[in-house]
Amino acid sequence: MMAGMEQDHPIFTESIRRIRSALGETGLGGLEQQVLERLVHSSGDLSIGTLLRFSAGACEAGADALRAGALILTDTEMAAASVRPMASRTLGTSVRTMLEWAPLTAPVGSTRTAAGMRAAWQQLEADRPAPIVLIGSAPTALEVLLKLVADGAALPTLVIGMPVGFVGVAESKRHLAESGLVQIRLEGSRGGAGLVGAAVNALLRASE
């Protein structure tokens, strides 16, 4: 039984049981399996595992950081809203969005979220443990983070990189894959606030 499932609604518990049965043997470790099951539950798509990628030890690093008080930084309020209930119910983890640092209007040639990512990381990179960064909607923000790190900024504990869409998304995911950062990502055009939230929620519930 997944950690904490004895407290879940019976419908959720039965959903996970059916998902696990339908998936069969995945070859994933315990935490990775829990992330996959949460993603399937949130998307209704049993094939999503074919797009899911983990760097070595990514889930364990994220769970350890959450237990140690790491902040969760999201690219949108929608992603933050999908995480806050679980964060409150489990570890009391702080969840913030990079839009708190964003300008009122987008800079020329960029986006508000990208500008917010840059300003947020300038303030938060000294945090220990380093924040966990969730990107579900803004490949531009992911590109900014990768550029900051490449230029010598502090590393995030974990990047959950699942921007959704068709403009700049495939490129940003490829750059994340090439970055060497600790990461969980979805290949292709799939992603979104609900899926990054589902991934970190699996880690939160496992970290209680």
CA nearest to 39, candidates 204, 191, 158: 191
Q: How far apart are CA 112 and CA 148, in angstroms?
A: 16
Q: Which two tokens stand for residue 55?
A: 């760097």
Question: 159 - beta bridge partners?
Answer: 133, 183
Specify the pairing of strand 183-186 against strand 52-54. Answer: antiparallel
**Whether 175 is catalytic:** no
Query: Catalytic one among 41, 53, 84, 175?
Result: 41
For tokens 């969730």, what's the residue?
134
Burial class (CB in 10 A: 0-12, 13-18, 19+), 92: exposed
The three-class DSSP label of residue 153 is coil
Question: Taking a C-beta distance cutoff of 8 angstroms, is the pair 107, 45 a contact?
Answer: no
- Looking at the chain, which runs of residues are DSSP E strands? 52-54, 72-74, 95-97, 132-135, 158-161, 183-186
| Residues carrying an active site annotation | 41
